[in-house]
A and B are shown apart, each in its own frame.
Chain A
Amino acid sequence: GAVVSQHPSWVICKSGTSVKIECRSLDFQATTMFWYRQFPKQSLMLMATSNEGSKATYEQGVEKDKFLINHASLTLSTLTVTSAHPEDSSFYICSATGTSGGTDEQFFGPGTRLTVL
């Protein structure tokens, strides 16, 4: 199957700083990328959907000014957690699909563990 990478795999930062997480599709063009967060021993919650070249669509309750998403190319989407606080500590997972609709499989990245001190 297709490969999606995330960088970094883990990051520790101080409260108040910003952190950028990259999600790359390595062997296919990702027209749509999704960002999820997962708290310990809980399920994945969709944060936002991004299509290449357009603004991301955020789920209800997700602060768009805090979680900045940029899908600038067909192989790269970034999530920036601005002014991070301890409650933002979580496992962030991205997924990518090759079309903007239909039944195409979402391919998931390995995740990024963010710890905010």
Chain B
Amino acid sequence: AQSVTQLDSQVPVFEEAPVELRCNYSSSVSVYLFWYVQYPNQGLQLLLKYLSGSTLVKGINGFEAEFNKSQTSFHLRKPSVHISDTAEYFCAVSEVQGAQKLVFGQGTRLTINP
């Protein structure tokens, strides 16, 4: 079984500052890794995913994440945030040899202050 831990439940940041949202996972098998964003009362939108290859993954809206196998981490970063980035962010994993079931972390509420 897999588990995902998002180390910060809330992250307040000033506009135009950099941000890092932390994600660690645990799994006995190989996994794919994902970051999703959820705006209020909406479904989830995929920001980026790591399947294989380069450990630095670039996604939409200027976000990127780096897969670190030795530390079992997949932290999400953005060099300069905008007010519109205020949302809930979820890290998730799914087994490479599995049925595409996603296991989500607890979520991190990113609040951008002017």
A-side residues, CB < 8 A to B, are: 1, 4, 6, 32, 34, 41-46, 49, 93, 95, 97, 100-106, 108-111, 113
Q: Which residues of A contact B42 (CB under 8 A)?
A: 110-111
Closest to B92 in A: A44
Q: Which residues of A contact B105 (CB under 8 A)?
A: 43
Among B12-20, B61-69, B71-79, B96-104, the one that faces the other chain is B96-104
The total of interchain contacts (Cβ-Cβ below 8 angstroms) comes to: 58
Closest to A6 in B: B43
Q: Which residues of B contact A102 (CB under 8 A)?
A: 100
Bound together, the chains give a CA A42 to CA B88 distance in angstroms of 10
Bound together, the chains give a CA A103 to CA B52 distance in angstroms of 11
Bound together, the chains give a CA A43 to CA B42 distance in angstroms of 13
Q: Are A46 and B102 in contact (CB under 8 A)?
A: yes
Whether A43 touches B99, Cβ cut-off 8 Å, given contacts A111-B41, A111-B42, A113-B41, is: no
Bound together, the chains give a CA A97 to CA B46 distance in angstroms of 13
Q: Are A101 and B107 in contact (CB under 8 A)?
A: no
Closest to A57 in B: B99
